[in-house]
Structure 1
Amino acid sequence: MTHDHHDGDFHEYDGPSKSQRKRDMHALQDLGEQLVALSVERLRKVPMPEELFDAVRDAQRFTAHGARRRQMQYIGKLMRNIDPEPIQAQLDAFNGVSRAETARQHRLEKLRTDLLEDEKVIGTVAETWPQADLQHLRTLRRNALKEREQNKPPRAFRELFRVLRELDEGARAAQAEQQEISGDEE
């Protein structure tokens, strides 16, 4: 008796490999662990089914290792039936790693670098944030350059970033407030 197997016929299956399913399961368990580590206030802000919320709250109360482990497995099982993306997005937001936030940080870091390389960039800062204390920024720039020259800790360099970030946050808050006001008038 001969077995006539064609390459495609023998290993025909649909879906991810066993290894991929295992990686996905571990990722969901990790997500579950992150949920269990949250405070109740933060946990309430995470979009999830009530059954999952209750399971996470139970896991937070368990102290016995075996009971907690079983509860974590249950959480993993529940998570297999939901879309983890909104949960991950909320956890990322808590951890400050949203794409928009990362892009904003990079933009401010570039502005700081540009300002250190060319004092004329202070004009861009003045245009963007008219309320900026330009004298303070010039002083920080001068001190940051001096620190770099003398291999000293980058205190002014960091302070310069902090000031730019505060200016940006202030402008964003004012913009959001303005949108709220104009939204109320409609």
Structure 2
Amino acid sequence: MRGKDPDTGEYFGPSRSQQRREALEVLELGERLASLSDAQLARLPIPDTLLPHIVETRRITSHIARKRQLAYLAKQMRREDEETLHAIRDALDAQGETARREVAAIHRVEQWRERLLDGGDEALAQLLDQHPRADRQHLRQLVRNALQERRLNKPPHAYRELFRELRALLVVGTESATDADTDTDTDDDSGG
């Protein structure tokens, strides 16, 4: 039983419903961890005491046995401090946001490729206005070759090469600009 303080009337601890919600949150976190690859797990701040339990949970395929192992994993996770679990959740959320940004960048590159193939010189002019350092001749040649491949039903070599060029221009260019901004910020902080 939870109990009440006779003087103030406040409850001593969290309600059973609150405890159940917290336990279910930890169980869901355990399921997410068990579904990650080794490389993804290595990037997370997971204590060494939990790693064997996560690996064991991933190994089990039988439904009931896996469910039981997940419950055991959650029990082990509840023994960790709340800060540890919070750090793991934050790292997982950051990875999810990074993946969403990467997918959005790929979609942006694909949209530009289609615009270049459908819009011709007008779309190329718009791209070059936004990215003046781009190689106009090379992009024009790739667009021309990709259109010829389509017309002749050839394998899409230039089509793929156009994607790679656009990705280098749009995505890598954006990342290096962001890195330069970050480097500038840290230089300012250390110099002041």
With 138-147 and 122-131 compared, the bigger mean Cα shift is at 122-131
**Is residue 54 of structure 1 aligned with residue 49 of structure 2?**
yes
Aligned to 1:175: 177
Aligned partners of 2:150, 2:106: CA distance in 1, in Å?
Answer: 21
Matches within 5 A, 1:34-49: 34-35=35-36, 37-39=37-39, 42-48=40-46
Give the length in aligned residue pairs: 160
Structure 1 regions of 5+ residues with no counterpart?
A: 1-13, 16-22
Sort the Cα spacing of 1:57 and 1:167 in 2 relative to 1 into closer, same or farther, 3 A.
farther
Structure 1 pair 79–160 and aligned structure 2 pair: CA distance change class (3 A): farther
How do 1:1-186 residues align onto structure 2 when only pairs under 5 Å count? 28-35=29-36, 37-39=37-39, 42-48=40-46, 50=47, 53-57=48-52, 59-60=54-55, 72-78=70-76, 82=85, 85-92=89-96, 97-98=99-100, 100-119=101-120, 120-183=122-185, 184-186=187-189
* RMSD of aligned alpha carbons: 4.0
Q: Unaligned regions of 5+ residues in structure 2, if any?
A: 1-15, 18-23
Q: Provide the C-alpha distance between the structure 1 equivalents of 2:182 and 2:60, rounded to a whole number of angstroms.
A: 49
Query: How far 1:132 sits from its partner (Å)?
Result: 1.5
What is the rounded CA distance, in whole Å, between the counterparts of 2:149 and 2:115 in structure 1? 17
The 3 A distance-change label for structure 1 pair 177 and 24 is: closer
Q: 1:150 to 1:90 in 2, by over 3 A?
A: same
Amino acid paired to 1:89: D
C-alpha separation between the residues in 2 aligned to 1:59 and 1:44? 12
Q: How far apart in 1 are the matches of 2:112 and 2:31?
A: 36
Rate the CA distance shift 1:71–1:87 in 2: closer, same or farther, 3 A.
farther
The CA distance in 2 between the partners of 1:181 and 1:55, in whole Å, is 36
2:93 aligned partner, one-letter code = A
Query: Once the two structures are superposed, what CA deviation does each residue of 1:147-173 show, in whole Å capped at 9, x if it has no partner?
Result: 222222222212111111111233223
- Identity, % of aligned positions: 30
Superimposed CA distance per residue, residues 84-116 of structure 1 (whole angstroms, 9 cap, x where no aligned partner): 7535435546xx732x22222222111111111
State TM-score, norm by structure 2: 0.61
CA contact (8 A) 2:34 2:54 kept: no
Contact 1:28 1:79 (8 Å CA) reproduced: no
Q: CA offsets, 1:34-78, max 9 Å, x none?
A: 34x314xx5343245x3xx5212455489x969x96755422445
1:146–1:28 CA distance, 2 compared to 1 (3 A): same
In structure 2, the residue corresponding to 1:97 is in which secondary structure?
A: helix
* Cα distance, 1:30–1:172 mapped onto 2, change above 3 Å: same
CA contact (8 A) 1:143 1:156 kept: yes
| Residue in structure 1 matched with residue 6 of structure 2 by the alignment | none
| TM-score normalized by the length of structure 1 | 0.63
